[in-house]
Structure formats: C-alpha cells, structure tokens
C-alpha cells in the first residue's frame, strides 16, 4: 500500500462520508429552464464568481506557460467569441449570460465549455 499505485485493501464503512477523503458536501441550486437562457445560471455564477475567475486564471497561467508571448491568451479572447453563434442554442446564450454574470471574458467561458474537445489535443 506504500508503493505506487498505492493500491489499498478495499475500504469499508466509509459512508456516510467523513474523514480525510471527504473534503466537503456539495451545494444544491435550481436552474429554471423556463427562464431566458442568458439568465438561467445567474444565481449560481453570482455565488461562484470568485472561484470561477480563479480557475480561469489558472488555465490562463497554463496557456502562458506554453506560449509565453501571450498570443494563445489573445487568440482565446479574440477568436473564440467569433464562434459563439456557431454553437448550438440555448448553450451559446447560456454562456453569454455566464460571461456577463461573472465578468469573465466570453472567449474564456467558451474555452471552459469546449475544454473536453480541446483537451484531447
């Protein structure tokens, strides 16, 4: 158990979650699908704005580490917003609302939402 891959004996009695492998519970929110798409995420993003800004900054730092000139970041902030209307409705409108509610540039919100496809690079 003390050499990689640190395979443990099967754990038991871990539930209800507590102790060193349990960091915290997860907050519940409601998203009203009858609301305009650009308004749906406002409550969540208002609560999580600082954490979202911090996470996006970490991705930007990573981009700068790969491309110190800052060109990659520039590309994200300039090029990605141009594709927003090629993305399916209502998700494009929801992303615009998230950018507005958080103050995070739209290109960076789009990057976060298509990260799965991008990350396969």
Contact positions vs another protein (CB under 8 A): 1-2, 4-15, 17, 20-34, 41, 44-45, 47-48, 51-52, 54-55, 58-59, 61-62, 65, 83, 86-88, 91, 94-95, 98, 102, 104, 109, 112-114, 116-121
Provide, rounded to whole angstroms, the least separation between the CB of residue 69 and another protein: 19
Tokens of 80: 């990605």
In angstroms, the Cα distances linking 35 to 8, 26, 39 are: 47, 24, 6
Q: Which of 30, 69 has the CB closer to another protein?
A: 30
CA atoms in the 13 A half-sphere facing the CB of 73: 16
Provide, rounded to whole angstroms, the least separation between the CB of residue 59 and another protein: 7
Q: Which of 24, 69 has the CB closer to another protein?
A: 24
Provide, rounded to whole angstroms, the least separation between the CB of residue 92 and another protein: 9
Number of neighbours of residue 104 by Cβ within 10 angstroms = 20
Provide, rounded to whole angstroms, the least separation between the CB of residue 79 and another protein: 9
Q: Which of 7, 69 has the CB closer to another protein?
A: 7
Distance CA 46, CA 26 (A): 16
Q: Which of 2, 69 has the CB closer to another protein?
A: 2
Q: Is 110 left (phi over 0), alpha (psi -120 to 50) or beta?
A: alpha
Distance CA 95, CA 56 (A): 14
């Amino acid at each position: 158990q003390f050499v990689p891959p640190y395979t443990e004996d099967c754990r038991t009695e871990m539930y209800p979650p507590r102790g060193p492998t349990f960091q915290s519970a997860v907050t519940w929110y409601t998203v009203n699908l009858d609301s305009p798409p650009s308004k749906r995420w406002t409550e969540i993003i208002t609560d999580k704005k600082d954490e979202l800004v911090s996470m996006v900054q970490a991705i930007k730092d990573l981009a700068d580490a790969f491309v110190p000139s800052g060109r990659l970041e520039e590309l994200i902030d300039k090029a990605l917003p141009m594709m927003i209307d090629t993305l399916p409705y209502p998700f494009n409108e929801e992303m615009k609302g998230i950018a507005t509610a958080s103050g995070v540039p739209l290109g960076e919100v789009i990057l976060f939402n298509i990260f799965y496809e991008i990350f396969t690079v």
